């Protein structure tokens, strides 16, 4: 997302500075260069000559009859992530109907190799729908932690309700992952959604908390090579709060730009210098390989994250990949956001999405969407707020009122999709979005200029960042100060926006019944404190058949 562009990069885009030089780390030197930082972050091993599960276990992409299981085994001490070393190691997996593993549902084995960074996945089938299971891995007689997971309801089941945690933008150096801990403590989640920026690519100190590194990440350099991306993923998997949530419920994840580089598109990124940092093709391939190695994600098509999951007759969830196929973002100096030859989805993915929405027979159609689809104009903010907001959104700071990294930069795709919803009378469509480091509750109008006199085609719930800087952090004022001033101006200029909070960090809980889809917004007391508390802030819902958002005072 453009919001993470530093001020120096913003000037570069305007041609005021030469391109930055960055350190390109050779994959062959990964062990020597990276062993120290990552080894310091890893938990202590019980014995040096036995395998260890230092990165926890996880599950994801629940199906009615199956679940995808994941772990990473460290077979010997020198086989650190990204090293490309270590022996092949047999890993046994067991799935049980009870936590004590007295009632085994499935078991098998696979081999962890250096070629896959000693990560393993087991795509388990033959399970019962809407059922809790427990699983663990074993290597060399050593057991992994035990984790709970849950399958999806049967495709034709009449499901009374679903509940998902919703998170985005988990920047290691900007704070602790308390949101994961609070979601893990709930005990009521069917799954949790990560809507992108699970990791960040920056070198240490480049994008922290109001300029301060809360905890340094590894590697210290920007992630460019396969070894770099593997290391960064591995570091995140050592976080105790993230491990706790992965041990509690299956994740459904999509990527955004920072799993690659800031403002990534199909042919490059703002935060990529061709040549000095190798080719974009090689960097993108490395990022994707590491992602699929380290994330419990079942790709529908090789190298993409767009796919669809179904949760009985209550909801289906279409998950988008808005980086692999998009055209380059329009700059302030040239190009047109209305150019029909420009795309954010790519033709094949947009056709897939439209077909799935039209054929859906569920009550709700959810769309996992990494960047905001609702149109947005800045409005008449004062200069002292306009420039920081422009920096956060990646807009030219002279005040061009469009974020070209969002759907606003690809209006033909948005127009086609919303027209498809309207012309086919497809209702109850809810976009679930991250990326923008602010919380929003929006109608999605067909024509923002005439709204609310014109129709709303869908609704959108946007969750704020877990840790990444938002508007008050950029301005460096107390939390809530900017939102009190900016939110009324934003809403006045965007009549489809029911609520926006520009300042706080947190997460969401999406609760769905046949009657309504409701997002409860939670905020964290202090992202820089490892024991941050959590409190409910607001709730918004859309009632079945309305395509409009309303506030509710009854969190679930």
Instruction: Express each pLDDT in 85-137 by its tens digit.
Output: 999 999 999 999 999 999 999 999 999 999 999 999 999 999 999 999 999 99
pLDDT for 486 equals: 85
Domain, as residue range, for 127? 42-150
- Both tokens assigned to 224: 């460019």
Q: Which of 121, 150, 179 is a domain's end point? A: 150
d(CA 556, CA 552): 10
pLDDT given at position 119: 98
- pLDDT above 80 (res 273): yes
Q: Are residues 109 and 129 in the same domain?
A: yes
Q: Where among 131, 150, 169 does a domain terminate?
A: 150
Do 195 and 141 share a structural domain? no
Same domain for 172 and 81: no
CATH code of the domain covering residue 442: 3.60.21.70
**286/189 same-domain check:** yes
Task: Give domain status of residue 107, yes or no.
Answer: yes
Predicted TM-score (pTM) of this structure: 0.90
Do residue 74 and residue 157 come from a single domain?
no
CA–CA separation, 345 vs 353, rounded Å?
9
Q: What b-and-e string marks burial along 152-166, b requiring 16 or more CB atoms within 10 Å of the CB? A: bbbbebebeebbbbb
What helix, strand, coil percent values describe the chain, rounded to 5?
A: 25, 25, 50
Quick one: average pLDDT of 423-431? 98
Does 172 lie in the same domain as 134?
no
Decide if 257 is inside a domain: yes
Q: Residues 349-374: pLDDT tens digits?
A: 999 999 999 999 999 999 999 999 99
In this structure, the answer to whether residues 446 and 494 fall within a common structural domain is yes
Contact at 8 Å (CB) between 418 and 496? Answer: no
Same domain, 159 and 142: no
SS3 letters for 505-546?
CEEEEEEECCCEEEEEEEEECCCCCCCCCEEEEEEEEEECCC
Is the domain of 58 the same as that of 120? yes
> At residue 395, does pLDDT exceed 90?
no
Q: Are strands 191-194 and 251-253 parallel, antiparallel or unpaired?
A: parallel
Across the beta sheet with 315-319, what order do the strands follow? 307-311, 315-319, 364-369, 429-433, 456-462, 439-445, 497-501
- One domain, residues 162 and 15: yes
| Range in 30-34, 241-245, 453-457, 499-503 with the lowest mean pLDDT | 30-34
397 occurs within a structural domain: yes
Q: Is the pLDDT of residue 401 over 50?
A: no
Based on the structure, what is the number of domains in the chain?
Answer: 2
Residue 40 clears pLDDT 80, i.e. is over it: no
- At residue 16 the predicted structure's pLDDT band, cuts being 50, 70 and 90, is very low
Q: How far apart are CA 72 and CA 70, in angstroms?
A: 7
Residue-wise pLDDT for 48-95, tens only, equals: 679 999 999 999 999 999 999 999 999 999 999 999 999 999 999 999
Question: Which of 377-386, 399-408, 468-477 has the lowest average pLDDT?
Answer: 377-386
Residue 3 pLDDT greater than 60, yes or no: no
- Tell me what the mean pLDDT of segment 281-300 comes to: 95
Pairwise CA distance, residues 319 & 458, whole Å: 16
- The answer to whether position 29 is within a domain reads no
507 falls within a domain: yes
**Residue 34: band (very low, low, confident or very high) from pLDDT cuts 50, 70, 90:** very low
Where among 101, 126, 150 does a domain terminate?
A: 150
Question: Domain holding 72: CATH number?
Answer: 2.60.40.380
Does 42 have pLDDT greater than 70?
Answer: no
Q: Which pLDDT value is given to residue 481?
A: 85
Average pLDDT of the chain? 89
Q: What is the helix (H) or strand (E) element at residue 138, kind and residue range?
A: strand 132-139
Task: Answer yes or no: do 133 and 164 share one domain.
Answer: no
Q: Would you say residue 37 lies in a domain?
A: no
CA 556/CA 160 separation, integer angstroms: 14
**pLDDT 10s digits, 494-550:** 999 999 999 999 999 999 999 999 999 999 999 999 999 999 999 999 999 999 999
Residue 348 falls inside a structural domain: yes
Residue 32 lies in a domain: no
Same domain, 545 and 480: yes
């Amino acid at each position: 997302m453009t919001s993470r562009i530093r001020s120096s990069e913003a000037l570069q885009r305007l041609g005021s500075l030469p391109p930055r030089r960055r350190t390109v780390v050779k994959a062959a030197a990964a062990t020597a260069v990276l062993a120290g930082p990552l080894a310091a972050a890893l938990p202590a091993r019980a014995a040096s000559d036995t395998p260890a599960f230092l990165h926890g276990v996880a599950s994801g992409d629940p199906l009615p009859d199956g679940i995808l299981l994941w772990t990473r085994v460290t077979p010997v001490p020198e086989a650190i992530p990204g090293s490309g070393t270590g022996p092949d190691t047999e890993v046994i997996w067991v799935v049980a109907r009870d936590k004590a593993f007295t009632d085994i549902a499935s078991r098998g084995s696979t081999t962890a190799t250096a070629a896959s960074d000693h990560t393993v996945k087991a795509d388990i089938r033959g399970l019962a729908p809407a059922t809790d299971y427990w699983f663990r891995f074993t290597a060399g007689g050593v057991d992994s932690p035990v984790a709970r997971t849950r399958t999806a309801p049967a495709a034709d089941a009449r499901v009374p309700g679903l509940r998902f945690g919703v998170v985005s933008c988990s920047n290691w150096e900007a704070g602790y992952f308390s949101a994961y801990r609070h979601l893990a403590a709930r005990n009521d989640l069917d799954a949790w959604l990560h809507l992108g920026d699970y990791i960040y690519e920056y070198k240490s100190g480049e994008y922290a908390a109001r300029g301060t590194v809360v905890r340094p990440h590894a590697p210290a350099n920007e992630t460019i090579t396969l070894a770099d991306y593997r290391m960064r993923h591995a570091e995140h998997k050592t976080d105790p709060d993230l491990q706790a949530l992965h041990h509690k419920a299956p994740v459904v994840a999509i990527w955004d730009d920072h799993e690659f580089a800031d403002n990534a598109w199909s042919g490059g990124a703002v935060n990529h210098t061709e040549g000095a940092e190798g080719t974009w093709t090689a960097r993108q391939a490395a990022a994707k390989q590491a992602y699929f190695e380290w994330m419990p994600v079942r790709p529908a098509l090789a190298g993409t994250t767009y796919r669809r999951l179904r949760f009985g007759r209550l909801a289906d969830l279409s998950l988008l990949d808005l980086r692999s196929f998009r055209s380059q973002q329009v700059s302030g100096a040239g190009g047109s956001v209305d150019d029909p030859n420009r795309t954010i989805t790519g033709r094949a993915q947009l056709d897939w999405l439209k077909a799935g929405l039209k054929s859906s027979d569920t009550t709700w159609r959810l769309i996992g969407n990494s960047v905001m689809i609702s149109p947005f104009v800045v409005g008449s903010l004062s200069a002292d707020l306009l420039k920081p907001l422009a920096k956060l959104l990646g807009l030219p700071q002279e005040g061009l009122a469009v974020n070209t990294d969002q759907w606003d930069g690809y209006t033909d795709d948005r127009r086609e999709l919303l027209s498809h919803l309207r012309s086919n009378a497809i209702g109850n469509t809810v976009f679930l979005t991250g990326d923008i480091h602010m919380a929003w509750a929006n109608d999605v109008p067909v024509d923002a200029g005439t709204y609310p006199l014109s129709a709303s085609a869908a609704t959108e719930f946007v969750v704020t960042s877990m840790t990444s800087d938002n508007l008050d952090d950029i301005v460096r004022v107390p939390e809530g100060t900017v939102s009190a001033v900016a939110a009324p101006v934003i809403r006045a200029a965007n009549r489809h926006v029911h609520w926006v909070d520009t300042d706080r960090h947190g997460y969401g809980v999406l609760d769905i019944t046949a009657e309504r889809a409701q997002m409860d917004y939670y905020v964290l007391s202090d992202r820089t404190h490892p024991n941050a508390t959590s409190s409910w802030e607001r709730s918004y819902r859309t009632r079945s058949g309305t395509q409009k958002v309303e506030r509710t005072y009854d969190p679930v």
